[in-house]
Amino acid sequence: MERTISAPGKLFLSGEYAVLWGGEARVLGTAPRAHALVRRREDRRVEVVLQGGRLLGDATPAGVRWSAPVTADFHFVATAIDLAYRLSGVEGPGFSVAFEPSPLVHGHKLGLGSSARATVLAVEASRAALEASWDTLKLALLAHADAQGGKGSGGDVAASVAGGVVRYRRFDVGPLLSAAARGGLLAALGQSGPVELARLGAPLFPCLYAFSGTSASTPGLVKEVERRLDAQARRRFVDRSDAQGATLENGLLRRDFDAVKAGCGALQALLWELEVTRTDSLERILALARTFGCAGKQSGAGGGDGAILFAPDEGAAAQLLQALSSRGFVAFPVSADRGLQGEPTALAPLAAWLD
Q: In this structure, are residues 139 and 189 in contact, taking their beta carbons and an 8 Å threshold?
A: yes
Q: Can you tell me the distance from the alpha carbon of 54 to that of 287, in angstroms, rounded to the nearest whole number?
A: 45
List, in order of start, the domains of the chain with CATH numbers: 2-200+337-354 (3.30.230.10), 207-334 (3.30.70.890)
pLDDT score, position 107: 65
List pLDDT tens digits, range 326-339: 999 999 999 999 99
pLDDT exceeds cutoff 90 at 181: no
List pLDDT tens digits, range 183-224: 889 999 989 999 999 999 899 999 999 998 888 888 899 999
Q: Which of 132, 50, 63 is nearest to 96 (CA)?
A: 50
List pLDDT tens digits, range 223-279: 999 999 999 999 999 999 999 999 999 999 999 999 999 999 999 999 999 999 999
Strand partners, 25: 168
Q: In which band, very low, low, confident or very high, does the pLDDT at 52 lie, cut at 50, 70 and 90?
A: confident
Rounded mean pLDDT of 341-349? 91
Strand partners, 45: 58
pTM, whole model, 2 decimals? 0.95
List pLDDT tens digits, range 27-49: 999 998 999 999 999 999 999 99
Dihedral sign, Cα of residue 140, residue 161, residue 264, residue 321: positive
pLDDT score, position 92: 84
φ, ψ (nearest 5 deg) of residue 292: -100, 20
pLDDT exceeds cutoff 80 at 110: no
Dihedral sign, Cα of residue 58, residue 4, residue 351, residue 121: negative
Q: In which band, very low, low, confident or very high, does the pLDDT at 161 lie, cut at 50, 70 and 90?
A: very high
